[in-house]
Chain A
Amino acid sequence: MIQSIVSQNKDNQHHFNVEKSFNFAKTSKIDIRKNIDAIKKRITPIWDLRDNVAVNPFFGFKDTKFLETLSLYESLLGSELLPPYSYFGSLNKKNELTDKDIDKALTECSLKYSSTLKISASDLKAKIDAAIEPKFLKIHSLCEVYDSFQNTNLTAVLKRTVSKWLSAYFDEGQSVWQLPTKEERLFSAWKQLAIYDDAYEKNHKGFAKYITDLPNDPIDTIESLSLNLVSDLNLDEKELQLYFLKLTTLLMGWTSYVHKYEFEAQRTGSEIELLKMGGFVDVLAIVMSYDSFFLTRINSQEKAKFKNSLDYKFDISNNIYKFLLLSASEINLRDSMLKSFDQSKALLPAEKIRPAAQLVFCIDVRSEVIRRHVESVGNFQTLGFAGFFGVPIDYKVLGATHSEQQCPVLLNPACEIFETSNSTQILKKRIESFQSMNLFKMLKSSINSCFTLVETFGWSYIFKLIKTNHSKGPVNINFELLGSKHKDEMLRPDLSTISLDQKVKLAFGALKNMGLTSNFSQLVFFMGHKSKTQNNPQSSALDCGACAGHSGISNARVLSGLLNDKEVRHLLNSKYELNIPADTCFVSGVHVTTTDEFEYDEYHFTQDFQIANFAFIKESLKVAQLKSTKERSKTLNYCEDLTDLELLQEINLKSRNWSEVQPEWALANNAAFIAGRRHLTKNVNLNSRAFLHEYDSLIDKDLSILELIMTAPMIVANWINMQYFVSAVNPTNYGSDDKALHNVVGQIGLMRGNGSDLLMGLSQQSLFNRDGQLMHQPVRLQVFIETAPDNLDSIIQKHSMVKELLDNDWLKLISIHPTLGHKMLYSSESWIRLN
């Protein structure tokens, strides 16, 4: 498609990557299946609220240029995907986008976009001053065309109707009377029931009959509907593909959600075709059935408009100005960061003083603040590593029948680990509390008891209402059941299910990759992180993304358990020559990001001196926590002019109050990913804007650690970064609206009020402050890696995913030479020297 677009725009002289999947030889008969597959590749999965991990919604377009993709989606969605000129104007006023940056941006971008040669810095400034937003042509669906002519709003009805069916199909516990056809695949489940949908039939006479006549297989349906469309409107292949893509944007949330199942099946290597529920094609077929119904209802004029809108002229000339300004703002950020890095110690040998304690935190940007303060209060060494601590597991909490994934969603868990406890009571207690929870639900929903129950027990809710109103938190749910309650009865992972071999492998891999192979202190803390909020459907978005949106405590416990195991230590020594001193104890803990509290597992201590040491360290760390809270509170609501005690109360309230919608800023304003030795950033205040990963290229001779960093944490950071980017620039389509209007659907997802598409992305409350000011600066991820460009090149060549992301501008890579200090910017042709 894009190739033909390019050929139509030859005079524009843009060097586009030839889009392979869109590129078909023109044949008389269009292969619909191939076209469906081409579109399917474009869809990025999203995860539901139980494991709410950030996703780059354009990951499927990583082989296409950033700017091209955004421009295409602007036309598909009909709304902006780049920040408005007024935003760049305000940056300019704040001196965060200077003339120098613009000049640099022009030079750097001219390599890829020859058209920028004609643009001067003054052009860009004129654009900012004029602040006239570029216009773009919208790509229409049939229904939208019908609406625009008839002045109706049937697109909204279509979206609501499809959402209704999909939420009924994917409901995981809200409804008592489930979809009668739930066991069949999505398309046929829908087809059997939609014929009874009088509410839809009311506005769409003849719809039931139209559905009955469709084939039973979703692909056959798409095929027959497409052939109809092609013959009626004389569409060619690229127009048909564009139409498919348009259909996927009508219900982006659900389409992406359905694709999650296919993504996971693909990851675990099971056959996608065997998925019982069907998948992307089912949704496409359903949406297409609704939309194509309008083909019979629109007249030739409307048909012409539809066909015209599909004849998409690819034109980035409007957006190139914004793109340059965006690049300039990123350059400003990048240069100020580079300037702040301290390379004076680069050549010195690593200090061999034994720290009082070592604390390993997640790479999450929130760790940056706490690490800085922890280091400032004592002789503490901190490290940054992916929050699952290199142990990709499925974790089954005590009493549960199913486990949850505790590692990035890109990875396959290596093993399943069960939780165990010294107490036998707790298992019984948990099962009983789950059973009574279920009993209550059944009594509430059963026809026989629902009235009696409300009548006899309704009044007792007055105590609950008043109690929770006084911020003790809605204690309705037994959080202990989720295994998140901490200090109860010595809950710990049962490591006996892992073979000794695997134990050693896991332990060594984790230590090696986090760069902690020598100079162990007496106490080494693995600090996972979690958030504590009440009544917050999006709470898992605040938890650890590297643990699939859950608390990182289980992984920390597993790793500490492995490393405290004498046998494992012995084998580490004999096999890998990794010597852990006998007095070293590994302690699992968790950093509560909402309150900056640390929680520790004290069951790891075996000797008295460790406990005495720990008591001392704990006190020093409390100072760091307060300092961190103070720093964070500058941008939090209701924290102005408070004494320390009041501040702690307020912060505590935020995590416990049932009406709090802005408990913390989470990963807002993330901008950089820095993999290097700590001294590079040690004395720099990065304002919670950087993911910090420990990396010492001098140790990493075989580049295996680098390879890992660039294929896992860097990608995760890119997903988070792009999620924030699109949610900030286009909250309507990629954000999850206002929390005050949220409605939980099927116990898994959010929708707005009466009903909408499945919401994805961040809510307004996570992005804007009380005055409506955007708290996240939309920039692409700037990746700084402290290693020579050659090393980076060899990884980039090896992994096409990384190469594609970089070549198409989805993130920026900067190499900082570990010994020479040279800073080089990656571009697909050559490295650009920055200083």
Chain B
Amino acid sequence: MFSHQILTIFILSLVLSSLALPYAVSSRMNLWSWLMVYFGPVMALSLTVFSFVTETPLKVDLYISQIEGLSVGFYLDILSGFILSFVLVIGAIVVCFSYRYLEMDLKRKDFLRSTSYTLCAVTTMLLSNNFIQFFIFWVLTSYFLHKLLTHVPNDKEALNSARQKFWISRLGDLFLVIAISIYYIEFQTFSFVNFSELTSVNDFRLELIGFLLVLGAITKSAQWPFHFWLPNTMNTPTPVSAIMHAGIINSGGYLLIRMSPLLNQTLYSLPFLATIGALTAFLGVMMMWAQTDIKKSLAYSTISQMGFMMLQIGVGAYGLALVHMLGHALYKAYSFLTIGQSVDYGRLNRIYRDTEKSNNPSLLFYAALGLFLIVILYVATVGLEKINSQSLVLTGILFFGLIQTFSLSKNVIDGFLNCLLISTLYGVLFFTSGYIFASILASNRIVAGWTFYLNLILIFSFGILFWVQKNFNHLKKNKFFKNVYVKMLNGF
């Protein structure tokens, strides 16, 4: 076991590791500089594994105040540790990338420094064990991000969009401040990690906290109707987008997953979140379809993926939401950093454009769809109480994914193999995440009636959008769809 001093040193070095990044990168990286670059993520991951194995969260308090639950300190459990490892590895890579990418930039040093401050603020935010510290670093992250967004001097448009983001963020802060205040009134503590000890007295206040937390999270994670600032932040160097879409945008999701035990006790906030999430997911996909440039397309993809994550949280699938959040972060960071390849794809599309499409077994697709609908009807008639609502929603979505894979695969055997691969992976992720995070995440609530309707709505929307995508060509004469197209092109 670690002694408290050693643990303190470890965690402090982890927190401060990001600050060394600008000094670690150079044009000629040697072993030492690589060690310095990857120190943060490796340390975070090691501590997380340690915490997982010993089944105890790592706690360091530097200062404990008189007020209950208010302290300056760090709290690393597998939830925060896991997210932190990913954020730091992305951060380290983005800093390495920026070194050469911005070699022309006279303010490169400032840029690297702001990036490292942002990472440091995120680290401290994730490792907070109370609301006050969390809130302070939530705001600080936003502040440093603002500096990064306005990196290019005299860029009016960048300034405008940064300002837009600034005010949305302040709105989110307001929701959060009120939530925290009510939380303190209700529970007489600022601590947000030991929910098992908390008992609620007032249902209304609990509901209110739930709602405000949800609102705070959806402003931070660019959910409809607060999504419009995100696609407008491209007048800043590409690495900023990478770190924003891969790291910072997730803080809303983290907050909600962290607060899941509390949210689980509320009645309406989760359905509300699920609705907003689903809506954002679908709108985001449609807007992504219409975009003609790669950065905006990636931005709307982030919006919709975040929406989907919120939907997962909304139906109580916290483990999967976490997996989704991290998978998306890595995928999006890579996509942003490699946008330069887009033109190579353009060239490929030009010279291979009439290559035979692989066989599209549409008959199979419709058969599978029919099968799925029968299952749904069956479930609906047999009775809901016997079926876990969240797994139903998620299986449904997985099922749609499988159908799509199936319909695009070369032949039946290929289709089966692909589907098998995806479902196995999905299952493994589902059960592993459930197992690993079991100690942190609240177990799912028993089915409430609304999930049935949610399921119906989801299936309905999936169906409609799928039909739209299949029928772009037939719909283009339709005035209504022309109108919708323009709305989506403009980003709603």
B104 touches A401 (CB 8 A): no
Asked if A111 CB lies within 8 Å of chain B CBs, one says no
B401 touches A453 (CB 8 A): yes
Q: Which residues of B contact A172 (CB under 8 A)?
A: 346, 349-350
Q: Which residues 392-449 of B have a CB within 8 angstroms of A?
A: 397-398, 400-405, 408-410, 422, 425-426, 429
Asked if B465 CB lies within 8 Å of chain A CBs, one says yes
Closest to A765 in B: B104
Q: Which residues 739-780 of A have a CB within 8 angstroms of B?
A: 739-748, 751-755, 764-765, 768, 770, 772
Residues 67-101 of B, flagged 1 when their CB comes within 8 A of A and 0 if not, give 00000000000000000001001100100111111
A477 touches B290 (CB 8 A): no
Asked if B197 CB lies within 8 Å of chain A CBs, one says no
B346 touches A661 (CB 8 A): no
> When chains A and B are docked, how far (Å) is the Cα of A447 from the Cα of B490?
20
CB distance from B393 to the nearest CB of A (A): 11
> When chains A and B are docked, how far (Å) is the Cα of A50 from the Cα of B350?
9
Q: Which residues 396-443 of A have a CB within 8 angstroms of B?
A: 396-397, 399-404, 431, 434-435, 437-439, 442-443
Q: Which residues of B contact A743 (CB under 8 A)?
A: 234, 293-296, 339
B343 touches A175 (CB 8 A): no
- Contact partner of A744 (CB less than 8 A), chosen from B96, B231, B340, B469, is B340
- Contact partner of A175 (CB less than 8 A), chosen from B292, B326, B481, is B292
- Contact partner of B327 (CB less than 8 A), chosen from A455, A751, A770, is A455
Q: Which residues 353-380 of A have a CB within 8 angstroms of B?
A: none
CB distance from B327 to the nearest CB of A (A): 2
Asked if A176 CB lies within 8 Å of chain B CBs, one says yes
The stretch among B50-58, B177-185, B204-212, B352-360 that forms the contact with chain A is B352-360
- Contact partner of A451 (CB less than 8 A), chosen from B292, B397, B472, B489, is B397
Q: Which residues of B contact A199 (CB under 8 A)?
A: 490
Asked if A349 CB lies within 8 Å of chain B CBs, one says no
Q: Which residues of A contact B157 (CB under 8 A)?
A: 156, 753-754
Closest to A172 in B: B346
A174 touches B326 (CB 8 A): no
> When chains A and B are docked, how far (Å) is the Cα of A746 from the Cα of B349?
11
B328 touches A748 (CB 8 A): no
Asked if A445 CB lies within 8 Å of chain B CBs, one says yes
B352 touches A175 (CB 8 A): no
The stretch among B129-137, B250-258, B330-338 that forms the contact with chain A is B330-338
> When chains A and B are docked, how far (Å) is the Cα of A210 from the Cα of B347?
39
Asked if B4 CB lies within 8 Å of chain A CBs, one says no
Residues 636-661 of A, flagged 1 when their CB comes within 8 A of B and 0 if not, give 01100000001000100000011111
CB distance from A627 to the nearest CB of B (A): 23
B89 touches A659 (CB 8 A): no
A477 touches B289 (CB 8 A): no
A748 touches B292 (CB 8 A): no
B235 touches A535 (CB 8 A): no
> When chains A and B are docked, how far (Å) is the Cα of A442 from the Cα of B409?
11
Asked if A616 CB lies within 8 Å of chain B CBs, one says no
The stretch among A7-15, A304-312, A456-464 that forms the contact with chain B is A456-464
CB distance from B437 to the nearest CB of A (A): 15
Q: Which residues of B contact A479 (CB under 8 A)?
A: 344
Q: Which residues of B contact A482 (CB under 8 A)?
A: 344, 347-348, 351
Asked if A350 CB lies within 8 Å of chain B CBs, one says no
Interface residues on chain B, number (Cβ under 8 Å): 113
Q: Which residues of B contact A179 (CB under 8 A)?
A: 485
The stretch among B213-221, B263-271, B300-308 that forms the contact with chain A is B300-308
Asked if A226 CB lies within 8 Å of chain B CBs, one says no
- Contact partner of B104 (CB less than 8 A), chosen from A173, A747, A768, is A768
Q: Which residues of B contact A466 (CB under 8 A)?
A: 89, 93
> When chains A and B are docked, how far (Å) is the Cα of A404 from the Cα of B340?
21
Q: Is the interface of B mostly helix, strand, loop or mixed?
A: helix
> When chains A and B are docked, how far (Å) is the Cα of A55 from the Cα of B208?
63
Q: A199-B490, A459-B327 are in contact. Are A474 and B347 (CB under 8 A)?
A: no
B238 touches A740 (CB 8 A): yes
- Contact partner of A447 (CB less than 8 A), chosen from B341, B402, B469, B481, is B469
The stretch among A22-30, A163-171, A713-721 that forms the contact with chain B is A163-171
> When chains A and B are docked, how far (Å) is the Cα of A48 from the Cα of B429?
43
- Contact partner of A660 (CB less than 8 A), chosen from B100, B231, B353, is B100
Q: Which residues of A contact B462 (CB under 8 A)?
A: 447-448
Closest to B286 in A: A177
Asked if B483 CB lies within 8 Å of chain A CBs, one says yes
B291 touches A174 (CB 8 A): yes
Q: Which residues of B contact A456 (CB under 8 A)?
A: 327, 422, 425-426, 429
Asked if B106 CB lies within 8 Å of chain A CBs, one says yes
Q: A172-B350, A744-B339 are in contact. Are A455 and B429 (CB under 8 A)?
A: yes
- Contact partner of B290 (CB less than 8 A), chosen from A49, A175, A658, is A175
A449 touches B354 (CB 8 A): no
Asked if B281 CB lies within 8 Å of chain A CBs, one says yes
The stretch among A86-94, A190-198, A815-823 that forms the contact with chain B is A190-198
Q: Which residues of B contact A755 (CB under 8 A)?
A: 293, 296
> When chains A and B are docked, how far (Å) is the Cα of A764 from the Cα of B472?
40
Asked if A291 CB lies within 8 Å of chain B CBs, one says no
A451 touches B352 (CB 8 A): no
Asked if B367 CB lies within 8 Å of chain A CBs, one says no
Q: A442-B408, A451-B305, A455-B324 are in contact. Are A650 and B27 (CB under 8 A)?
A: yes
Which size class do A's interface residues fall under? Answer: 35 or more
A741 touches B489 (CB 8 A): no
B405 touches A454 (CB 8 A): no
Q: Which residues of B contact A534 (CB under 8 A)?
A: 340
Closest to B345 in A: A747
Asked if B232 CB lies within 8 Å of chain A CBs, one says yes
> When chains A and B are docked, how far (Å) is the Cα of A452 from the Cα of B281?
13
> When chains A and B are docked, how far (Å) is the Cα of A757 from the Cα of B354?
30
Asked if B460 CB lies within 8 Å of chain A CBs, one says no
A403 touches B93 (CB 8 A): no
Asked if B103 CB lies within 8 Å of chain A CBs, one says yes
CB distance from B357 to the nearest CB of A (A): 8
> When chains A and B are docked, how far (Å) is the Cα of A178 from the Cα of B397?
26
Closest to A763 in B: B104
Q: Which residues of A contact B476 (CB under 8 A)?
A: 180-181
Q: A174-B293, A637-B27 are in contact. Are A536 and B340 (CB under 8 A)?
A: yes
A198 touches B490 (CB 8 A): yes
Asked if A687 CB lies within 8 Å of chain B CBs, one says no
Q: Which residues 199-253 of B have a CB within 8 angstroms of A?
A: 231-238
B234 touches A747 (CB 8 A): no
B327 touches A454 (CB 8 A): yes
B482 touches A539 (CB 8 A): no
Q: Which residues of A contact B355 (CB under 8 A)?
A: 399, 401, 431, 434-435
Q: A445-B289, A476-B338, A741-B237 are in contact. Are A173 and B346 (CB under 8 A)?
A: yes
Q: Which residues of B contact A396 (CB under 8 A)?
A: 351
> When chains A and B are docked, how far (Å) is the Cα of A431 from the Cα of B308?
34
Q: Which residues of A contact B238 (CB under 8 A)?
A: 740-742
Q: 9 closest Cβ contacts across the A-B interface?
A: A458-B327, A747-B346, A452-B401, A180-B476, A753-B235, A535-B340, A177-B289, A638-B27, A448-B404
A-B contact pairs, 27 of them (CB 8 A): A50-B346, A173-B349, A177-B290, A177-B469, A199-B490, A439-B408, A442-B408, A443-B405, A451-B397, A452-B401, A455-B320, A456-B426, A458-B324, A459-B330, A462-B89, A465-B93, A465-B333, A474-B341, A476-B341, A477-B344, A638-B27, A658-B97, A741-B152, A744-B342, A747-B342, A753-B234, A770-B103
With A461-B330, A461-B331, A482-B347 given, name 19 new contacts (CB 8 A).
A172-B350, A173-B345, A173-B346, A176-B472, A196-B485, A399-B352, A401-B353, A455-B426, A465-B330, A476-B338, A536-B340, A537-B340, A638-B27, A657-B100, A661-B101, A740-B237, A742-B339, A745-B294, A753-B158
Residues of A participating in the B interface, judged by any CB pair closer than 8 Å? 48-50, 153, 156, 164, 167-168, 171-181, 192-193, 196-199, 396-397, 399-404, 431, 434-435, 437-439, 442-443, 445-459, 461-462, 464-466, 468-469, 474, 476-479, 481-482, 534-537, 539-540, 637-638, 646, 650, 657-662, 738-748, 751-755, 764-765, 768, 770, 772
